[in-house]
Chains A and B, each alone.
Chain A
């Protein structure tokens, strides 16, 4: 079973890194860009390609997870990515994080602990 959790951790890190890199890519584009231009302009940024590589590898790890775990169990475990994103929002993007969000992070941890017991 520990290999499943290892695959979950790998998937979470890769998928989250993919999300953060997407944010880095689109942050460097004009804010009033149209939806289609947004997608094509994003693809011209190296961060976007790094993001897609992470998402692809993360998806492979995720398929390994689904192969050995209920989706109703595995998917909530994916929420540990919120914790990584919160840390990235705070320390990399320097967003202000209200206390309420840290409390939410604590609930997520509690939920993950419960789901992992099942």
Chain B
């Protein structure tokens, strides 16, 4: 039962992690757009480069980083409770969320081609499959599960 509770907490943390990471991407992109910094490899010296950014954009980027930090903290909870190869790829749901946000938010004004949509779906499905567990299920009463408990 404690193991089940641990798994439930793990998946709740995973849900938070997915939402926060998708939100972080959207906030960061809006921030980069609003900041209007030139691409860094346009041979602008670093000092000048930062000075040429607009501060409202930097606030959006800060909000994006905060959201990223929340997803990271949630991720730590996930890591402690679920196996890595099962937990990490479920983050694939965030690919659909980010694409949906890019399509829905006029501020991003992204060029959404069918090819890109198919690619995103493949990535999300692939991520979902990578998360699937086809290992044999173990019933709670089985000796293997009992042996793991102290």
A-to-B contact residues, CB < 8 Å: 3, 19, 22-23, 26-27, 29, 31-33, 35, 38-39, 42, 55, 59, 62-64, 66-68, 70-73, 75-76, 79, 82, 85-86, 88-90, 93, 95-101, 103-118
Question: A98: shortest Cβ distance to chain B, in Å?
Answer: 4
- Given contact pairs A95-B84, A111-B123, A70 touches B102 in the complex (Cβ within 8 A): yes
**B residues 18-56 in Cβ contact with A at 8 Å:** 25-26, 28-29, 32, 37, 39-41
From B32, B94, B103, A66 is in contact (CB under 8 Å) with B32
Could you tell me if B102 and A22 are in contact, using CB atoms closer than 8 angstroms? no
Could you tell me if B128 and A72 are in contact, using CB atoms closer than 8 angstroms? no
CB-based nearest A residue for B73:
A39
Q: Identify the interface centre among B41, B61, B73, B115: most chain A CB within 10 Å of its CB.
A: B41
Interface size class of B (residues with CB under 8 A): 35 or more
Question: B31: shortest Cβ distance to chain A, in Å?
Answer: 8
CA–CA, A52 and B119, complex, Å: 30
CA–CA, A67 and B83, complex, Å: 34
Could you tell me if B132 and A73 are in contact, using CB atoms closer than 8 angstroms? no
CA–CA, A23 and B68, complex, Å: 17
Q: Provide the residues of chain A in CB contact with B111, threshold 8 Å.
A: 70, 118
- Enumerate the 3 nearest inter-chain pairs by beta-carbon distance, A residue then B residue, closest first: A104-B129, A107-B126, A111-B122
From B39, B76, B108, B125, A67 is in contact (CB under 8 Å) with B39
Q: Provide the residues of chain B in CB contact with A71, threshold 8 Å.
A: 25-26, 28-29, 98, 102, 108, 110
CA–CA, A99 and B82, complex, Å: 20
26 A-B residue pairs with CB within 8 Å? A23-B84, A32-B6, A33-B80, A38-B76, A66-B32, A68-B39, A70-B102, A71-B29, A71-B108, A72-B98, A72-B112, A75-B99, A86-B130, A89-B85, A95-B84, A95-B85, A104-B129, A104-B131, A108-B122, A108-B123, A111-B119, A111-B121, A114-B122, A115-B115, A115-B123, A118-B115
Q: Provide the residues of chain A in CB contact with B79, threshold 8 Å.
A: 22-23, 26-27
Could you tell me if B127 and A72 are in contact, using CB atoms closer than 8 angstroms? no
Could you tell me if A105 and B130 are in contact, using CB atoms closer than 8 angstroms? yes
CA–CA, A31 and B26, complex, Å: 33
